[in-house]
């Protein structure tokens, strides 16, 4: 226990902090996609099934930093162009019931790239309430440890 190593001036917070595993043993980097706005069919209400609505998507992807560095090597970085195209494909594939379900599908897409360690996806319906800038969800997932 930490108290045995340090003495009596150890708080419970110190013990928790000492016991917390280091989530990252290697350097990483983040790819950000901000405010992608798509017209899509999303929502549980009948009026949402009749007409598409504007949905804003933002994504943060945490990736392993390549051991050899990035330099000018395209193959060493995450391709956001392809990823955005795949998000568009989901939006165009048909009606999505929940913003949470849409966000989860985007998370699943992210983990198709084995370098992605964590993903944070925000999905907002922009026009559902006249007096609100947007309503939605923010989901954060981590690659399962094997």
Helix (H) or strand (E) holding 37: strand 28-40
pLDDT of residue 52: 96
Tens of pLDDT, residues 10-68: 444 443 334 334 445 677 899 999 999 999 999 999 999 999 999 999 999 999 988 88
Max CA separation in the chain (angstroms): 67
The H or E element containing residue 124 is strand 116-125
**Structure confidence by residue, pLDDT tens digits, 124-146:** 999 999 999 999 999 999 998 76
Task: Tell me which residue of 31, 103, 20 sits closest to 62, measured CA to CA.
Answer: 31
Extract the tokens encoding 20.
Answer: 């917390």
Average pLDDT value for the chain: 86
């Amino acid at each position: 226990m930490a108290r045995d190593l340090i003495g009596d001036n150890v708080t419970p917070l110190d013990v928790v902090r000492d016991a917390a595993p280091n989530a990252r043993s290697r350097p990483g980097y983040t790819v950000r996609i901000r405010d992608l706005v798509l017209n899509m069919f999303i929502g549980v209400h009948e009026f949402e099934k009749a007409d598409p609505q504007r949905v804003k998507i933002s994504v943060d992807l945490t990736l392993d930093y390549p051991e050899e560095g990035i330099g000018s090597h395209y193959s060493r970085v995450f391709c956001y162009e392809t990823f955005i195209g795949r998000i568009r494909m989901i939006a165009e594939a048909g009606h999505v019931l929940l913003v949470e379900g849409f966000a989860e599908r985007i998370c699943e897409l992210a983990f198709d790239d084995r370098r992605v360690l964590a993903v944070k996806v925000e999905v907002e319906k922009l026009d559902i309430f006249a007096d609100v800038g947007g309503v939605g969800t923010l989901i954060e997932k981590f690659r399962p440890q094997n």
